[in-house]
Chains A and B, each alone.
Chain A
Amino acid sequence: MKIKEESSTKWFRLIAYVVVLVGCVLCLLPFLLILSASLSSNASILNEGYHLIPKEFSLEGYRIIFEVPDDVLRAYGVTTLVTVVGTLIGLLLMTMAGYVLQRKDFKYRNVFAFFIYFTTLFGGGLVPYYMLITNYLQFTNSLYALIWPGLMTPFLIILMRSFITSAVPDEVIESSKIDGANDFVIYYRIVLPLSVPGLATIGLFLALQYWNDWFSSALFISDAAKYQLQFYLYNIINTSNFLNSIGAGAGVTLSEGVPSESMKMAMAIIVTGPILLLYPFIQRYFVKGLTIGAVKG
């Protein structure tokens, strides 16, 4: 009996290790393929295709990009600016909303919460939204078009409300009220400092969403100088014209030696690099957000 139980536990654990390892390899493999291609010479890619290990090591892909880095730097700038501004404004508005919506003495909080939640159930669709942004708000080709659409989501507001409910006991708010603090002071002096872990989680969710956004550029931006980083990359992958333009800009005549394939992959690495580097430090905040969000429903 004892021996049988032990062997089942061992088998179970063995399967666990194998499955998890295979899973990890599958999750990493595509990134390694891109990395390897970005470090290969273009000729070797053209002749022998993409490989897991570079057939012919070369940094030409990166070199070509950094010879005329203006465009990619500008796209970086746009995305950074939009991410920072959008995240700060979004955080301010959503923490205030989350705070108000969890105040038990605010009588119509559920009506307002439903007003916000309802937008996830029903909407006008893409065309009316497109017309709103372009025709009525007139955000076309401005950074507003990149910041406005992702500013707040019902999911993050509800998550923020849960965070505040669990981080700030009702009694603390009650007693501050008795001491004569007004509602904004309570928010600013007590709720915000107590909700820092929640702020980090919501802020990172929001920042990630802005950083990875390509759709707003695709819909509302035609001026290439205002492309977000992701859309800039998307265009490089999908437009054959791109090489001609960068070739002309660098004063390079296009020949077979121009590393188009390796340059595409190098660009992908440059665009994704910051996320991959930051990821180990920030992922626990996301894990926390998911856990709280799921518990509260």
Chain B
Amino acid sequence: MLKKKGILHELYTNKILFLMLLPTLLYFLVNNYLPMIGIYYAFVQFDFNTSLFKMDFVGLKNFEFLWKSGKLVELTFNTIGYNIVFIFLGNVLSIFVAILLNDIKGKWFKKISQSILFLPYFVSFVILSVIVFNLFNYEQGVLNTVLQQLGADPVDVYSKPKLWIFFIIMFYLWKNFGYSMVIYLASITGISEDYYEAAKIDGANAFQRAWHITVPMLKNTFVILLLFALGSIMKGQFDLFYQMIGNNGLLFSTTDIIDTYVYRSLRVTFDMGMATAAGVYQSLFGFTLIMIVNAIIRKVNKDYALF
């Protein structure tokens, strides 16, 4: 009998299984682990003509520039701030609509309205930029057409950064709330009818039943979705922000997040060192946050821990 059953022995016994997994492992190795070496770009003077390890080492200079640009606090604040609002409003709205939708008795009406509410999730973010253009375009946009019909003056929303906080949140909800609503709806369907019958006998009305039975029963689903969302709280909704704002500098003060900043540094201003530094900052900060959150959850309730 073999006493030592190391990893190689195990892989040999299950070589077919291992071979079936190998392409996937290689993909993640190349696609996700290899770029981690590229974090070194944040510590060199970028030069298109030479390879990474031949570039001049500059220490923390890129981070220093990033810090001195004074944008770091604003970007972090925007990224996290928007995400918190998204998580909070997104869940409240999804739970609210899911409870109401569940109460509708007409089978077809229910099915069709669920499909319609889930529809915006399926269209591309580019369509979002078409919609934004259609609504807010100064000359022909729906907003100004309506305002003029009401006898009001047209508004140039592209010069009002504060308004966009509202627009971004609105369109985030429009695009994404159907996704979590479907999940909540499935959880509600799983709640036993007995609870509602018992509550009815005790004289609870429909609103009390929703508030005191359905909402508490959704706690598990909510916690799971919340933890997933917290795990990526430093990752901004790049598609959403970029398709709505683009490179419109007038709106950056309220709408620039780390992801859009990094993208612009890479593609518009070609500031590779600073772009990498910002990316590294985002990754490390995000990773630390996940670790802390996970450690806390482990203490409170091990079943909910992410890993």
Contact = CB atoms under 8 A, between A and B. Distances in A.
A94 B23 CA distance: 10
A244 to B, nearest CB: 19
Interface string A264-289: 11001001100110011001001100
Max chain B Cβ within 10 angstroms of own Cβ: one of A31, A126, A261, A291: A126
A49 B142 contact: yes
Contacts of A178: none
Nearest to A11: B206
Interface string A23-45: 11011101101100100000001
Interface string B167-183: 00000001000110011
Nearest to B287: A122
Interface string B265-282: 011000010011011101
B115 A23 contact: no
A48 B116 CA distance: 30
Contacts of A105: 14
Interface stretch (A65-73, A163-171, A209-217, A251-259): A209-217
Interface string B115-141: 111111011111101110111010111
B39 interface: yes
A174 interface: no
Contact of A127 (B140, B210, B272): B272
B280 A16 contact: no
Interface in A91-134: 93-94, 96-97, 99-101, 103, 105-108, 112, 114-117, 119-132
B206 A8 contact: yes
A139 B131 CA distance: 32
Contacts of B262: 125-127
Given A20-B100, A121-B287, A12 B206 contact: yes
A23 B97 contact: yes
Interface residues of B, number: 100
A202 B221 CA distance: 22
B104 A157 contact: no
Query: How many residues of A sit at the interface, in one of the four size bands?
Result: 35 or more
B262 to A, nearest CB: 5
Contacts of B182: 286-287, 290-291
A20 B186 contact: no
A26 B174 contact: yes
A219 interface: yes
B253 interface: no
Interface stretch (A56-64, A80-88, A182-190, A193-201): A182-190
B72 interface: no
A242 interface: no
B140 A46 contact: yes
Contacts of B243: 234
Given A124-B39, A290-B179, A115 B25 contact: yes
Given A49-B144, A283-B118, A214 B203 contact: no
Given A24-B117, A46-B140, A125-B283, A182 B122 contact: no
A130 B276 CA distance: 10
Please report whether the interface of chain A is mostly helix, strand, loop or mixed according to DSSP. helix
B292 interface: no
Contacts of B134: 30, 33-34, 37, 50, 265
Interface string A129-172: 11110001100000000001101100001000000000000000
B200 A5 contact: yes
A276 B118 CA distance: 12
B21 interface: yes
B140 A15 contact: no
A123 B117 contact: no
A9 B104 contact: no
Q: Is the interface of B mostly helix, strand, loop or mixed?
A: helix
A127 B279 CA distance: 8
Given A107-B10, A126-B279, A233-B130, A212 B124 contact: yes
Contacts of B39: 124-125, 128
Interface string A1-26: 10011001101110111011101101
A81 B246 CA distance: 28
Given A13-B104, A50-B142, A268-B127, A219 B267 contact: yes
A180 interface: no
Contacts of A268: 127, 130
B77 to A, nearest CB: 19
Given A24-B116, A30-B120, 11 more contacts: A16-B100, A105-B14, A119-B32, A124-B38, A125-B276, A128-B37, A157-B24, A212-B125, A261-B140, A272-B123, A272-B124
Interface of A: 1, 4-5, 8-9, 11-13, 15-17, 19-21, 23-24, 26-28, 30-31, 33-34, 37, 45-46, 48-51, 93-94, 96-97, 99-101, 103, 105-108, 112, 114-117, 119-132, 136-137, 148-149, 151-152, 157, 182-184, 187, 208, 211-215, 218-219, 230-231, 233-234, 237-238, 261, 264-265, 268, 271-272, 275-276, 279-280, 283, 286-287, 290-291, 294, 297
15 contacts: A5-B205, A13-B105, A13-B206, A16-B100, A23-B117, A27-B117, A96-B24, A119-B33, A120-B231, A123-B35, A132-B31, A149-B31, A214-B124, A231-B126, A275-B124
